[in-house]
Amino acid sequence: MTETEQLISISELFGPTIQGEGVSLGRPALFIRLGLCNLDCSWCDTPYTWDWTGKNGVRYDKKTELKRMAVGDVVQWVKEHQSTGRVVITGGEPLVQGKAVAHLVQGILDLGISAIEMETNGTQMPPAEIVDVVQWNVSPKLSGSGVVPEVAIVPEVLSMFTSIPQSNFKFVVGSVEEVNEIENLIVSLSLPRDRVYLMPEGKLPSEINSKFQFVIESALQLGVNVTTRLHVLAYGDMRGV
């Protein structure tokens, strides 16, 4: 099997739209949403990529929600929609499919697109060949996610991402306890504060707005950045935007 024939589990392909979160907030982008995840966050806004048992309230059908596509076909879709010049690979957890993701990144680079972002939960080591060619949007999960710290926080992986200049760290925040957790991680792992972003948790505009003042005040307290969720403010919990 060639690199382009390598199969990858896809949830959604959509765009052009905007990057709604983080350091590239508001920039036009294509989105490749991959299926599967190694975590099971209680507030996950894409449970249709992994929740086949109904843990979060709805049992999704894996055969309906995911499709296996050749990497070459995904790259061809990007080629046909590449006017944005930016591609965001998200999930689920993309690095669960590390080998296929590496081939996908290389295929996108071969199109002449260098602005590639990868959303990851920071528990999986990326393939060595793509470490230096991707913008890493690392989102470690805190206690509010319902994932136990021993699983959610993998220090050696987060330390590796800390050493990469093109990585940033995005934390979903909903409580004072989680703000304290972030400060502890910043100190213990030497996370660069200028690359840390706090973001309010929420699937609806009302939820985002109700927490945003707290998030701003917490960010000022920690000396870090703030991001909102533009796509949620505009479209709520609609898929494919």
**Residue spans of beta strands (DSSP E) within the chain:** 7-18, 28-34, 67-70, 86-90, 115-120, 135-138, 167-173, 196-200, 225-226
Running along the chain, 241 residues long, what does each successive block of 10 average in pLDDT?
88 97 97 98 96 96 98 97 93 97 97 97 97 98 96 97 97 96 97 98 94 97 97 93 92
Is the dihedral angle over the CA atoms 153, 156, 51, 93 positive or is it negative?
positive
CA 231 vs CA 52, 56, 122, 204: distances in Å: 25, 22, 23, 10
- Domain made up of 7-170: CATH architecture: Alpha-Beta Barrel (3.20)
pLDDT for the residue numbered 69: 98
pLDDT for the residue numbered 146: 95
Q: Between β-strands 135-138 and 196-200, what pairing exists: parallel, antiparallel or unpaired?
A: unpaired
pLDDT for the residue numbered 83: 85
b/e per residue 215-233 (b: at least 16 CB within 10 A): beebbeebebbbbbbbbbe
pLDDT for the residue numbered 2: 81
> Taking a C-beta distance cutoff of 8 angstroms, is the pair 175, 157 a contact?
no
Answer yes or no: pTM beyond 0.85.
Answer: yes
pLDDT for the residue numbered 49: 98
pLDDT for the residue numbered 196: 98
pLDDT for the residue numbered 3: 77
